Structure 1
Amino acid sequence: MERHLTAPGVRIRGLTVVYNTPSGELPAVSGVDLTLAPGTITGVVGESGSGKSTLALSMLNAVQPPGRISAGSVEIDGLGDVVRLRGEELRRTRGRKVGYVFQAAQNSLNPLKTIGAQLLDLGRSHDVGDLRALVRDARELLGRMGMDGARVLDSRQHELSGGMRQRVGIMFALVLDARVVVLDEPTTALDMITQATILRIIREVHDERALTTLVITHDVGAVAEVADDLAVMYGGRVVEHGPVAEVLGAPEHPYTRGLIRAIPRLSGDLGLARALPGRPPTLGTLPAAGCVFRERCESSLDLCRTAEPVPAARAGRTVACHLPGPHAVPVKRKEYA
């Protein structure tokens, strides 16, 4: 099967996704700007309801009613703006050019068909000429993830454990040689050893196939293990973005610091871990003005109640916060042609 030698860049600009509610249309993602550099793995972390999965679905133009993409673009090298794709062109993009692993992998499997039959259906729907090669590639991917590929392809979903179904979902996202891969909680329902195996496979296949990868996760440890860059989301906004080691090693945004402080340690003083105060906002409780994090922030200013912070470059990363930080300068986006 053909391998792409050049990874694509992805540029998300001004992305806003709204959901129709009894109170009107409310934003789940609001004005997000995010660049995925070619050949990198970008992790996205944040609490439930922060907009991570909605952002990921937008990369396939797959937001379903009552939601819709109301503004912005998702430009992928070689594809153009995915938000503008429609009909057959959009269908062929999903899976073949942009692979996706859903958070609940079992929901994307047909319980009446074997995994192998679903693989062949996938190949035929995307006009794969050599179905035998497709099956060989699937067996190899499953084998590298610690499973008997032939046995799995002959199985139905109820014959597989939750962890095995999750790995089957990863195989489906990779087997058509997609250029961009989005993984929504790829290590959910897996034990620690299997998690480590999956993260290693994601990294290896990412490098071998020249992918650009987005990993959605609650697990900051998983991000530290596999990602190059890290985006932190809260209330539908990206509040901090930069190289993963720098963001985790010296977080600039109060929310990022709170997330890291809440991680329990395996050694040392367990009392050092502190949960974030309060609860994350819902669509109905997002403030109409000001900083979305202000009610839970220990360092909020009067300005935070009236003005939404504009993302600025600070020490090699982008931070959206009114608090002064080192070397704060206006953002200069790096574009990828």
Structure 2
Amino acid sequence: MTTISHGVGESPRPESSAVPGLLVGTAAATTPGVRVRDLTVVYRTPLGELPALGGVSLTIEPGTITGIVGESGSGKSTLALSLLNAVQPPGRIAGGSVEIDGLGDVVDLAGDRLRRARGRHLGYVFQAAQNSLNPLKTIGKQLLDLGRSHDVDDLPALVRDAKSLLERMGLDGARVLDSHQHELSGGMRQRVGIMLALVLNARLVILDEPTTALDMITQATILRIVREIHQERGLTTLMVTHDMGVAAEVTDRLAVMYGGRVVEHGPTMEVLGSPRHPYTRGLIQAIPRLSGDITQSRALPGRPPTLGTVPKRGCVFQERCPLRMEVCETVEPPSVIENGRTVACHAAEAARPAERRKEHA
């Protein structure tokens, strides 16, 4: 994959020329930022309520594409669902806030106010697109249901916008709207999910593993569509992925999660080029190689923690960390911000003064 050189650690990308079916021009003025503060999500289990997110704090700048990476069970999808206040029982948001420009604290929204926020302000593209589509209704009928539920006055205009979006993504809009989900391929269903997330002009779009189970050609098409529509509509985008290559291809900033914590966050190319947290380094070293010395690719030792095995004290990564120190077993590392990078690691913090001395020697 090729990486994007522009946008990493920079201000939001400039608007491009207008494309039929896409809203541009004034979009940037309404592009929202997101501030997650001390967010805690717990799940009820036979052992009691156990944390899936443990005091997560994260800032998503307006107009950026932010990637969330980590192994399965790290809390990526739980964080994404929390932005919609959509964590379902036996889970619940136990503390913290999710402030979104133009909406306020989403955690405080409920009932009709929350329903209207979803779709109108917040768009979500699910990991398995077929699971979010009704197999008994055509895509067109589901689109009309969506419009009616949000009191859209001009349903024919909504259909025209949906067709334009689908055609913008390389599909026959009329045929797709006339089809049931089983009549569409995986890549087509994923594009339908993107259309449904955007057709009500949402400004914050969350994509949960949008390229999972897709072939390489379709994956490249979906990533191109994500980049183009993000830029042309002036969106703020959050992409959940386990694929470092996908993150490098499309995101501006990258947050690495482990055990329900954000352990590193910063501009994508800086995080991938000079990772500061040992978990981030481990993820990068585990990427399979197709050329060069393939023995340099090494799997992370051990297994990621489950709800019941997350350490109750100290660093969540302590059991798998090659740099573990005594303090890691008892004290949770604070998130230290420096030069636009955030890292939560005792070893990284201990090494920082030595790095400074070397720079000034």
Q: For the superposition of Structure 1 and Structure 2, which TM-score range results when normalised by the shorter chain?
A: over 0.9
CA contact under 8 A between 2:23 and 2:232: conserved in structure 1?
Answer: no
Provide the TM-score with structure 2 as the length reference.
0.88
CA contact under 8 A between 2:23 and 2:233: conserved in structure 1?
Answer: no
The AA in structure 1 aligned to 2:150 is H
Q: Distance in 1 between matches of 2:342 and 2:79?
A: 18
CA contact under 8 A between 1:314 and 1:327: conserved in structure 2?
Answer: no
Could you give the per-residue CA deviations for residues 250-282 of structure 1, whole angstroms, max 9, x where no partner exists?
000000000000001221111111000000000
Show the counterpart of 1:41.
65
Show the counterpart of 1:30.
54
Show the counterpart of 1:5.
28
The AA in structure 2 aligned to 1:195 is Q
Show the counterpart of 2:139.
115
Asked if residue 143 in structure 1 is aligned to residue 183 in structure 2, the reply is no
Structure 1 residue 150 displacement after superposition: 1.2
Q: Distance in 1 between matches of 2:353 and 2:187?
A: 45
Q: Distance in 1 between matches of 2:218 and 2:128?
A: 17
Of the structure 1 ranges 71-80 and 187-196, higher mean CA displacement relative to structure 2 is found in 187-196
Show the counterpart of 2:188.
164
Show the counterpart of 2:40.
16
Deviating beyond 6 angstroms after TM superposition, the runs of 4 or more aligned structure 1 residues are: none
Provide the TM-score with structure 1 as the length reference.
0.95
Structure 1 residue 2 displacement after superposition: 6.3
Show the counterpart of 2:352.
326
CA contact under 8 A between 1:14 and 1:72: conserved in structure 2?
Answer: yes
Q: Distance in 1 between matches of 2:306 and 2:79?
A: 16
Structure 1 residue 139 displacement after superposition: 1.6
Change (3 A) 1:180 1:327: farther
Asked if residue 230 in structure 1 is aligned to residue 254 in structure 2, the reply is yes
The AA in structure 2 aligned to 1:326 is R
Of 263, 279, 285, the residue aligned with 2:303 is 279
Structure 1 residue 175 displacement after superposition: 1.2
Show the counterpart of 1:290.
314
Of 169, 184, 192, the residue aligned with 2:208 is 184
Structure 1 residue 315 displacement after superposition: 4.5
Of the structure 1 ranges 234-243 and 162-171, higher mean CA displacement relative to structure 2 is found in 162-171
Question: Equivalent residues in 2 for 1:12-91 (5 A)?
Answer: 12-91=36-115
CA contact under 8 A between 1:315 and 1:326: conserved in structure 2?
Answer: no
The AA in structure 2 aligned to 1:241 is H
Asked if residue 259 in structure 1 is aligned to residue 278 in structure 2, the reply is no
Structure 1 residue 306 displacement after superposition: 0.4
Asked if residue 220 in structure 1 is aligned to residue 281 in structure 2, the reply is no
RMSD of aligned Cα (Å): 1.4
Classify the secondary structure of the residue corresponding to 1:5.
helix
Structure 1 residue 44 displacement after superposition: 0.2
Classify the secondary structure of the residue corresponding to 1:284.
coil
Give the gaps of 5 or more residues in structure 1: 329-337
The AA in structure 2 aligned to 1:49 is G
Show the counterpart of 2:128.
104
Q: Distance in 2 between matches of 1:325 and 1:183?
A: 36
The AA in structure 2 aligned to 1:276 is L
Classify the secondary structure of the residue corresponding to 1:313.
strand
Asked if residue 205 in structure 1 is aligned to residue 193 in structure 2, the reply is no
CA contact under 8 A between 2:53 and 2:261: conserved in structure 1?
Answer: yes
Q: Distance in 1 between matches of 2:134 and 2:340?
A: 45
Structure 1 residue 191 displacement after superposition: 1.2
Identical residues among aligned pairs (%): 75
Of the structure 1 ranges 123-132 and 270-279, higher mean CA displacement relative to structure 2 is found in 123-132
Asked if residue 268 in structure 1 is aligned to residue 292 in structure 2, the reply is yes
Structure 1 residue 111 displacement after superposition: 0.8
The AA in structure 2 aligned to 1:156 is H
Of 238, 260, 263, the residue aligned with 1:239 is 263
Structure 1 residue 20 displacement after superposition: 0.5
Classify the secondary structure of the residue corresponding to 1:83.
helix
Q: Distance in 2 between matches of 1:145 and 1:161?
A: 14
Could you give the per-residue CA deviations for residues 119-138 of structure 1, whole angstroms, max 9, x where no partner exists?
11111111222222222221
Structure 1 residue 327 displacement after superposition: 6.6
Of 103, 119, 138, the residue aligned with 1:95 is 119
Structure 1 residue 151 displacement after superposition: 0.9
CA contact under 8 A between 1:231 and 1:242: conserved in structure 2?
Answer: yes
Give the gaps of 5 or more residues in structure 2: 1-21, 355-361
The AA in structure 2 aligned to 1:119 is L
Classify the secondary structure of the residue corresponding to 2:228.
helix
Q: Distance in 2 between matches of 1:2 and 1:79?
A: 21
Q: Distance in 2 between matches of 1:154 and 1:121?
A: 14
